[in-house]
Amino acid sequence: MNRFLCFLSLMFLIPVAYGQEENILDGSVVDSLYREDQIYLGFTYNILNRKKEITQTGFSGGFHGGFIRDFPLNERRNIALGIGVGWSVNTYGQNLFIGEEADTGNTIFQTFDADVLEYNTNRFTTQSVEIPLEFRWRTSTPETYKFWRVYTGLRLGYAYYFKSTFEQPENTVVQTDVPEFDRVRIGATFTFGYNTFNFHFNYSLHPFFNKEAQINGKQIELGAIQVGLMFYLL
């Protein structure tokens, strides 16, 4: 058992030792094989696009969090690939009513005049597990954790939760099982900034609903653009 524990210790310590260099000036240890493995937290304002007859109403926001593993591609280690796992929750306020026919169970999609109809809330909310894929460039060095960064890539997600809520006095309509909702979510991302604070953009590459979701015979091509701040914690 003791030999096995020694073997495991060597397996973990040898790579660390080879990645460390002593700074001649102050005697500190520098990790020359550093990675920018990061926990990320983000807050976004969600903007609906490809709306056609749909109007965005109220505040639409999102929260995002997860972990990204860094894989440097060059000797300087300022160019890398990042892959991770995360979770996000997003809400979208608009004038698209989503209901259900009582006799057939088919989904109803219909817009309404938000200035005329008396209602309290109309929004849908999603929760997704995500896999961020990033191509990363930064000005980092082994000696500093404050640097400029530009990250771009894709965010692959699966929306395991969907809830549409319409509320008005003495009437509430909630839909959680909408077959026309596309649970696979793919977005093109772009993040840039300095140190902890970074601007973040996510452009949805396909609509929320499939071709079966229509209003007056026209497909609902509703998508979203997320704009906000992303915080990276080492």
Residue 141: pLDDT band (50, 70, 90) is confident
Instruction: Give the mean pLDDT of the chain.
Output: 87
Q: Which amino acid is at 177?
A: D
Measured distance CA(124)–CA(122) in Å, rounded: 7
User: Would strands 79-93 and 171-175 be described as parallel, antiparallel, or unpaired?
Assistant: unpaired
Where in the chain does DSSP place strands (E)? 20-22, 29-31, 38-49, 61-72, 79-93, 96-100, 107-111, 121-138, 148-168, 171-175, 184-194, 197-204, 214-215, 218-219, 223-233
User: What is the per-residue pLDDT for 24?
Assistant: 42
pLDDT in tens, 144-178: 778 899 999 999 999 999 999 999 988 999 999 99
Return the structure tokens found at 221: 């091509």
Q: Report the largest interatomic distance among the alpha carbons of the chain, rounded to a whole angstrom.
A: 80
User: What is the per-residue pLDDT for 165?
Assistant: 96
Cβ neighbours of residue 27 under 8 Å, at least 6 residues apart? Answer: none
Cβ neighbours of residue 137 under 8 Å, at least 6 residues apart? Answer: 78, 79, 149, 150, 151
pLDDT in tens, 41-85: 999 999 999 988 899 998 999 999 999 999 999 988 899 999 999
pTM of the model as a whole: 0.83
